[in-house]
Structure 1
Amino acid sequence: MGFDFDLQASHYENMLGPSHKHYMKQKTDLLLRCIREKGLNTKTILDVGCGTGELERNLANRLEVVGVDLAVSMLRVAKDRCRDCEFLRASCNKLPFRDSAFTMVLVVNVLHHLKLSDRQTLFSEVSKTLAPGGHVVVFEHNPKNPFTRIVVRGCQIDRGAVLLNTKEVTSLANASKIDKVDIEYLTFFPAVLSFLDSLERRMQRLPLGGEFMFLGRKEV
């Protein structure tokens, strides 16, 4: 049985530990750099599986993001944390938006929690809500990193999770008419060695980071 996000919302970030905010900031920084350097369209952004809204808080005053999650308790925390953001309850298997509603969709550490049969459904929904030429950004744990595998095995939140590699994410995207644009890696060092973060930028092509970022573009 997987982790009950609704039941554990009030304890969620305590269970992740103090390093969670550091790793979310790493993701935010990489996302913003990618947007800036590649000139991505950020007019309308959807965050699928937004959880407690940590990403939305990091992006506040810079980008407007609509967050969706199925867990009511998680959304309650998100709304308290980021009162100016829009949050909706929705399943990733049935996103309640018109076709081509967003220019960018974010899927942050969601896929490994889904049943294998639901992963393609998520990408199909993402593709449907994504405008032609729009981009999807996926962050996932990197199974090639041995430390990541150890951490995931010992993490209650990741109980029952099945990790995906970059080829699997690319295959899911391609099947939904989303082409791979780029893949970068992050989280090479634990949070206690955050003073080494300046080295991460030089290492982001090495496929050994604790996580990876997949950037895809929907066919026009």
Structure 2
Amino acid sequence: MAANEKLSPEFDLYAASYDALLEDPIRNRFAHGTHYFHQRKWVLIQDLLHRAGLNTSSLRWLDVGCGKGELLELAGSHFAWAGGCDPSAAMLDSSTRFEVRQQQSQIELPFDTGSADFVTAVCVYHHVPQAARKLLMNEIKRVLSPGGLACIIEHNPWNPVTRAIVSRCPVDVDAELLTARDAKALMSGCGFAPLFSDYFLYLPERLYSRMASLESLLAKVPLGGQYALLARSPYRASLG
């Protein structure tokens, strides 16, 4: 599909049964339901922003590829403003508390230039064809204020359990996983300055509550189920 082609999103087909399609015996043993995964992402996002010296209460947050808005529902009230966008209108039907808009293509974000201080793309890029990834990254740069922050969270292809789950998940039938190094190169190539990167989701839900400090010690070991990369956008406009 061409990068600027208008979408007939496959996630419209998945929306009604999305949670059921994510079911997997290994995933289910790791955590009960999806809340744990969203909670872990939110904890990590807070930590990354804290390390960058920022308080969420002063930030305008845009969640690109927000889907049903679970992360927005969990974390949106902690920001000065929070909103999201997604190519799938059917997925967005479940998002009512915060402002959400439909993307008309994979590389177009329906928000004004400089309208966000912080942008997340959570498990989005593995659905984006490689030819379109830089275009989307530049669009994220456009909607960010000068010096704003972007965070990519993705499945870690170096984790064999992650690869197994992704390979048999109907929602990820088009997945092209990217490593943390790939994500860093993508952001750097679009003028972003990478700040911090962490691996996480080592421990299942039943252990994390008692051993969270262990995950912190493993954050730089590239074997976690997912990783997060935080980078700063240029302070001056640049060609991408």
For 1:53, the aligned partner's letter is G
CA contact (8 A) 2:102 2:110 kept: no
Q: CA deviation at 1:192?
A: 4.9
Aligned to 1:160: 174
1:151-182: per-residue Cα shift (whole Å, max 9, x none)? 11111111121100011111111121111111
Are positions 1:142 and 2:161 aligned together? no
What whole-Å deviation, never above 9, does each CA across 1:67-104 have from its counterpart, x for those lacking one? 0011011000122xxx2x11111134111223222111
Unaligned runs of at least 5 residues, structure 1: none
The 5 A counterparts of 1:168-187 are 168-187=182-201
Q: Does 1:14 align with 2:20?
A: yes
Unaligned runs of 5+ in 2: 2-8, 24-31, 236-240
C-alpha separation between the residues in 2 aligned to 1:174 and 1:37?
20
Q: Does 1:129 align with 2:143?
A: yes
TM-score normalised by L of structure 1: 0.91
Secondary structure of the residue aligned to 1:151 is helix
Residue 28 of structure 2 corresponds to: none
**Identity, % of aligned pairs?**
33
Distance 1:175 1:118, change over 3 A: same
- The Cα RMSD (Å) is 1.9
Structure 2: which amino acid aligns with 1:177? G
Trace 1:1-220 onto structure 2 (pairs within 5 A): 4-17=10-23, 18-40=32-54, 42=56, 43-63=59-79, 64-79=81-96, 83=97, 85-90=98-103, 91-195=105-209, 197-198=211-212, 199-220=214-235
TM-score of the aligned structures, taking structure 2 as reference length: 0.83
Specify the code of the residue in structure 1 equivalent to 2:13. Answer: L
Take 1:151 and 1:115, find their aligned partners in 2: how far apart are those partners? Answer: 20
How far the C-alpha of 1:194 sits from its partner, in A, is 3.9
Amino acid at match of 1:9: A
- How big is the shift at 1:188? 0.6
| Letter matched to residue 196 of structure 2 | D
Q: Which amino acid aligns with 2:71?
A: L
CA distance in 2, matches of 1:155, 1:196: 30
Q: Count residues with an aligned counterpart.
A: 215
Please tell me the residue identity of whatever aligns with 2:163.
R
**Runs of 4+ with deviation above 6 angstroms:** none
What is aligned with 2:6? none
